[in-house]
Amino acid sequence: MQNVQSKESEVAARGSSGNEDFKTWLARSRARVEEALTAHLKQISKVAGTNSRLPEAVLYSVRVGGKRLRPILVLECCRVCGEQPDKAMPAALAMELIHTFSLIHDDLPAMDDDDLRRGKPTNHKVFGEALAILAGDWLLAHAFSLLASGGYENKTVPALLEILADGTKRMIEGQGADIAGEGQPADGELVQYIHRHKTAALIETCCRLGAICAAASTELTDALTHYGHHLGLAFQIADDRLDATGSQEKMGKRVGKDADVAKQTYPAAFGLEESAAQAAREMEAALRALEPFGRQAEHLRSLARYVIQRDS
Amino acid sequence: MQNVQSKESEVAARGSSGNEDFKTWLARSRARVEEALTAHLKQISKVAGTNSRLPEAVLYSVRVGGKRLRPILVLECCRVCGEQPDKAMPAALAMELIHTFSLIHDDLPAMDDDDLRRGKPTNHKVFGEALAILAGDWLLAHAFSLLASGGYENKTVPALLEILADGTKRMIEGQGADIAGEGQPADGELVQYIHRHKTAALIETCCRLGAICAAASTELTDALTHYGHHLGLAFQIADDRLDATGSQEKMGKRVGKDADVAKQTYPAAFGLEESAAQAAREMEAALRALEPFGRQAEHLRSLARYVIQRDS
């Protein structure tokens, strides 16, 4: 059927924006990421004879999965810059593995001490702390190797590498500040530092990587960087609000914990109402950053709206 | 004075091999690495306003220092392939930071649980477990970024990146096997797996990186890889023997611990005498691998001898 459908009718079926329905697109993008990830994980699981459960620990946390929003962002930012999204797939997978590494280490007893993640026992609850630390380390190193093996032109690799390393370091710096801020009186400036680094840095990195994979102009790369920055802040404020108001069942992890350990959160520093308003402002700023892309960026716009509306 | 000395008399002063005395060379190489590392650490410490002691934790472990054998190896492998050693300095520093990351994580309570390293309290004893985990993570990510900012040609970066990631992952796999093997009956094959991965992989990586920085032929790169492989095995067997026979004062860390926690070591699997013989055989294999380099490789030969003779 598909092959007899004209391009015009395809566009018509996707509505006036020339984009298919957001939810359909999100599901299809996620399926595309899952497929590539599964193929890639098969290669990882072939690392036989390691004489430990390390490969199993690595695969466990990647497979537990989530919304795969970060890799989807990489692919879509590549697409809106005029390149086939699949060109960005190795960078997209690298981002998902960096994200997975960060979750494994964040959940450790010495860090956030979480037993549950995405409704399943955390890595160290299943494999022990030593293997959880090593699984995170392995994923971090492996993510970088995907930039070398991803089929990118030689001149693109150093740029991708620098962006990935920079985003990862900023995320780690944010996690350090997050831990150090626990139990301290809520401090608006500190909360903003933590949000910018712990969450926004990696979201921004996704957008930059996607643009670089498409060899986009500095102008478009910067526009997507701003989008990612504000999207990341909106995302983290929404996450803080969900921890304060959501249910464990919906979230797949323990909630209400931020208040228990006196985390530096947006609601703690500014209250729930102002947090909602700030999340909306960040979303607006994210939308404004997309102006140069016109109707091409409809999915990125919907994604920003989706992020602050999820389950809240 | 130096500027009036002819090249001929310089060579004469260095002895018949055209190389200066090994100990002088080692000290000079170490000083060169320390200088570059200090300059680089100044940049790291400028990462101000991180709202945590993370930069301090990072700098602490890098500064505690050691013999800096890994970066020295990178530089010298670059030199014997006909290139200025400084060309390999960014890769050399990357290796030292990867090594430092691995020590910080290995010393954690969940891993080897060591309080002392190079005669000083381990990272987590000073900064706590959370910051020690994050400092290791940060160093790992930062090491990769050095390949992007190191002034290497675009075509060299993907190769360096792939080698660094591969060596790091193998080292982590070896550490996983090391932890999993604790308390199990000594198993010769397992010990060899652990040695090949935990130690030899990174030493090999140093040699390969040095060769690639010099754009060496496959033949010379492979020769140095073999040298690094056997040197790494000799090094780890010597290390196992020192743990069994050395003093804490000389080693700067707790000794006799391998036996206490029933680690998979060469002496445990094969006995002290056979371990010494095997270390000597690995050293011979390392020396044989250097044949294509002729007299150029005198320091690498002396280094192999030095490694198995240190303090034992």
| A117: phi then psi, degrees, rounded to nearest 5 | -145, 125
pLDDT digits (tens, 9 = 90+) for A153-163: 999 999 999 99
What is the average pLDDT across B161-176?
96
Residue B108 in contact with residue B135, Cβ under 8 Å? Answer: no
**Choice between A131 and B311, residue whose per-residue pLDDT is larger:** A131
Question: What pLDDT score was predicted for residue B18?
Answer: 43
So what's the ipTM on this one? Answer: 0.91
* DSSP bridge pairs for B120: B117
Which of A187-191, B79-83, B291-295 shows the lowest per-residue confidence on average (mean pLDDT)?
A187-191
**pLDDT greater than 70 at residue A180:** yes
Nearest-angstrom CA–CA distance, B22 and A129: 43
**pLDDT greater than 50 at residue B6:** no
What is the average pLDDT across B46-67?
86
What is the average pLDDT across A255-280?
87
Question: What pLDDT score was predicted for residue A243?
Answer: 84
Nearest-angstrom CA–CA distance, A203 and A168: 10
Q: Which of B54, B101, B154 sits opposite A158 (nearest CB)?
A: B154
* Contact at CB, B173 and A52, closer than 8 angstroms: yes
Question: What pLDDT score was predicted for residue A43?
Answer: 82
Question: What pLDDT score was predicted for residue B289?
Answer: 98
Q: Which two tokens stand for residue A114?
A: 């979480």
* Contact at CB, A51 and B181, closer than 8 angstroms: yes
Query: What rounded mean pLDDT belongs to chain B?
Result: 89
A52: contact with B, CB 8 A cutoff: yes
Question: Percent of chain B having pLDDT more than 90?
Answer: 75
Nearest-angstrom CA–CA distance, A173 and A189: 15
Question: What pLDDT score was predicted for residue A3?
Answer: 39
Question: What pLDDT score was predicted for residue A251?
Answer: 66
A44: contact with B, CB 8 A cutoff: no
Residue B31: how many CB atoms within 10 A of its CB?
11
B306: contact with A, CB 8 A cutoff: no
Q: How does DSSP classify residue B185?
A: P
Q: How does DSSP classify residue A116?
A: E
Question: What pLDDT score was predicted for residue B8?
Answer: 37
How far does the CA of residue B255 sit from the closest CA of chain A (Å)? 21
pLDDT-based confidence at residue A310 (cuts at 50, 70, 90): low
Place of tokens 């080698």: B163
Q: Which residues of B touch A176 (CB under 8 A)?
A: 50-54, 130-131, 134
* Contact at CB, B141 and A52, closer than 8 angstroms: no
pLDDT-based confidence at residue A18 (cuts at 50, 70, 90): very low
Phi/psi class of residue A122: alpha, beta or left (left: φ > 0; alpha: ψ in -120 to 50)?
beta
Question: What pLDDT score was predicted for residue B25?
Answer: 95
**Choice between A139 and B254, residue whose per-residue pLDDT is larger:** A139
Question: What pLDDT score was predicted for residue A224?
Answer: 98
* Cα A158 to the center of its chain, rounded Å: 22
**pLDDT greater than 60 at residue B312:** no
Which residues have CB under 8 Å from A29's CB, separation 6+? A68, A72, A75, A76
How far does the CA of residue A113 sit from the closest CA of chain B (Å)? 10
Question: What pLDDT score was predicted for residue B168?
Answer: 97
Nearest-angstrom CA–CA distance, B4 and B7: 9
Question: What pLDDT score was predicted for residue A259?
Answer: 78
B261: contact with A, CB 8 A cutoff: no
Q: If you measure CA to CA, which chain A residue comes closest to B57?
A: A176
Question: What pLDDT score was predicted for residue A205?
Answer: 98
Nearest-angstrom CA–CA distance, A113 and B11: 61
**pLDDT greater than 80 at residue B222:** yes
Q: Which residues of B touch A136 (CB under 8 A)?
A: 137
* Contact at CB, A180 and B155, closer than 8 angstroms: no
Place of tokens 């090994």: B22
Strands B120-121 and B116-117: antiparallel
Amino acid sitting at position A133: I
Question: Whole-angstrom distance between the N-terminal and C-terminal Cα of chain B?
Answer: 40
Q: How does DSSP classify residue A196?
A: I
**pLDDT greater than 50 at residue A14:** no
Question: What pLDDT score was predicted for residue B251?
Answer: 66
Question: What pLDDT score was predicted for residue B245?
Answer: 84
What is the average pLDDT across B281-299?
97
Question: What pLDDT score was predicted for residue B49?
Answer: 64
Nearest-angstrom CA–CA distance, B84 and A20: 57
Amino acid sitting at position A176: G
**pLDDT greater than 60 at residue B7:** no
* Contact at CB, B133 and A133, closer than 8 angstroms: yes
Which of A168-177, B135-144, B247-256 shows the lowest per-residue confidence on average (mean pLDDT)?
B247-256
Question: What pLDDT score was predicted for residue B247?
Answer: 65
pLDDT digits (tens, 9 = 90+) for A199-246: 999 999 999 999 999 999 999 999 999 999 999 999 999 988 888 887
Nearest-angstrom CA–CA distance, A143 and A141: 6
Amino acid sitting at position B229: H
Give burial (CB, 10 Å; 0-12/13-18/19+) of A172.
buried
**pLDDT greater than 70 at residue A289:** yes
Q: If you measure CA to CA, which chain B residue comes closest to A98?
A: B141
**pLDDT greater than 80 at residue A51:** yes
Give burial (CB, 10 Å; 0-12/13-18/19+) of B265.
buried
| B18: phi then psi, degrees, rounded to nearest 5 | 80, 5
Q: How does DSSP classify residue A16?
A: T
pLDDT digits (tens, 9 = 90+) for A120-133: 999 999 999 999 99
**Choice between A119 and A224, residue whose per-residue pLDDT is larger:** A224
pLDDT-based confidence at residue B43 (cuts at 50, 70, 90): confident
Cβ pairs bridging A and B (under 8 Å): 159
How far does the CA of residue B215 sit from the closest CA of chain A (Å)? 15
